[in-house]
Amino acid sequence: MRRKKRIGILTGGGDCPGLNPAIRAVAKTSFFCHGAEVIGFKDGYEGLIKNQTRELTWEDVSGILTQGGTILGTSNRANPFAYGEKKKDLSKQALKNFRRLKLDALICIGGDGSLHIAHELNQMGLPIVGIPKTIDNDVEATDFTIGFDSAVAVATESIDNVHSTAESHHRVMIVEVMGRYTGWLALYAGVAGGGDVILIPELQFDIKKVCRELVRRSKIGKRFSIVVVAEGVRLADSKLVIKRRVKGSTDPIRLGGVSYRIAEQIENATGLEARVIILGHLQRGGKPTDFDRILATQFGKKAVDLVMEGKFGYMTSLQGGKITSVPIQSGIARLKKVTPDLPLIQAAKAVGTCFGD
């Protein structure tokens, strides 16, 4: 008799809504269509390094479609090529653990950092398939990543809720969202939430232009203004505002707090009262949206297809509404950034949104 296929799966990097639907899709497709076994690694690459696993069953993945987070756990500090504060290379140990388990493939659900690791492990001979997820939507070669739409929904609802308090107090409300070095989240949530000013890293803004727009709105009787700011925007000195650095992390820089600097500049230049709301990890929580549930289901099924075809070193991708696959290397070649000619930016400007550029 032919041996059952054994597929490993892990979720690496920051969590986001949509991970559990992807795990569910991988497991159920493996069980139902191929009679395969699925072994989950606990806490991302940490589980691969330390050989911490759990075999997934029908019961484990039943009822998790609507759940946020990940039943496997995750970690953004466990890099097999630079593990811990001493940056030890434990990649060979990770590879040995994979082989001890007699796995046929590993499916990695991760963002830019996790997919970089996946690519390096694949170069060492580990048969790996990637599924792109990140609320930042900054992975190249796919239109959307798992988690982005859910984070946009949370940020948009938060901006909606700010409107009433802003109007009551005649304030400038500055809502800071995540996104790291790209402005996808701020752009989509800002447009959907009716932001009057949207500041993103890809468009260098002039604070004087922003202030002129806020004063203009005040003079024509607008009782409040909403400013949506991506955490990765740079001020006039071209420096990022870094909240802290985390030793041992795959990406030690933690952004956050640039909005306080912007609020101070606005108050000094305009005399308008400004308040700051930093959404932070709120954007990573909650149930996945219908879009993310559907995308994760399709990505999970496609990832298993790639395993069965022996098409390793590839990741799932959404392009022009179609589910396809691309080499992982093309997805990590560079960060996918917002371009100034993006139709959504042009549409936002057409309805009067200020980008300060």
**At residue 245, does pLDDT exceed 80?**
no
Q: Is the full-model pTM beyond 0.75?
A: yes
Give residue 245's identity as a one-letter amino acid code: R
Domain 151-285 maps to which CATH number in 3.90.170.10, 3.40.50.300, 2.60.40.10, 3.40.50.460? 3.40.50.460
Q: pLDDT digits over 151-170, tens only?
A: 999 999 999 999 888 888 88
The secondary element (H helix, E strand) that includes residue 286 is: none
Closest listed residue to residue 18, CA positions, set 158, 181, 131: 131
Per domain, the residue ranges of the chain are: 6-146+288-332, 151-285
Asked if 6-146+288-332 and 151-285 have one fold, the answer is yes
Active site residues: 136
Res 76: pLDDT: 83
Whole-angstrom Cα distance, residue 315 to residue 306? 9
Rounded Cα distance, 154 and 59, in Å:
29
Q: Which tens digits make up the pLDDT trace of 92-146?
A: 999 999 999 999 999 999 999 999 999 999 999 999 999 999 999 999 999 999 9
Which residues, 6 or more positions from 131, have their beta carbon under 8 angstroms from its beta carbon? 22, 107, 108, 109, 110, 146, 299, 300, 303, 315, 316
pLDDT at residue 325 greater than cutoff 60: yes
* The one-letter amino acid at 320: G
Q: Using 50, 70 and 90 to split pLDDT, how confident is the model at 251?
A: low
CA-CA distance, 173 to 223, in Å (whole number)?
A: 11
Displacement of CA 238 from its chain's centroid (Å): 24
Q: Above 90 in pLDDT, residue 249?
A: no
Q: Over 80: is that where the pLDDT of 316 sits?
A: yes
Say how many CA atoms lie within 13 Å of 10 toward its Cβ: 30
128-132 sheet: strands from edge to edge: 53-56, 37-41, 6-11, 105-110, 128-132, 314-319, 322-327
Q: Among 35, 128, 33, 25, which Cα is nearest to 80's?
A: 128
| pLDDT for the residue 150 | 98
* DSSP-H helix ranges across 35-171: 45-50, 58-61, 91-100, 112-123, 148-169
pLDDT, one tens digit per residue, over 198-220 is 999 999 999 999 999 999 999 99
Run of H or E residues at 131 = strand 128-132
pLDDT digits (tens, 9 = 90+) for 255-310: 778 999 999 999 999 999 999 999 988 899 899 999 999 999 999 999 999 999 99
Q: What's at 334, amino acid-wise?
A: R
Contact 338, 182 (CB under 8 A): yes
Q: What are phi and psi of 83, to 5 degrees?
A: -90, 130
Contact predicate 283/106, CB 8 Å? no
3-state SS string for 150-219: HHHHHHHHHHHHHHHHHHHHCCEEEEEECCCCCCHHHHHHHHHCCCCEEECCCCCCCHHHHHHHHHHHHH
Q: Indicate whether 339 pLDDT > 90.
A: yes
CATH value of 6-146+288-332 in 3.40.50.450, 3.30.70.1560, 2.40.128.120, 3.30.70.1710: 3.40.50.450
Task: Report d(CA 117, CA 242) in Å as an integer.
Answer: 25
What is the pLDDT at residue 166? 85
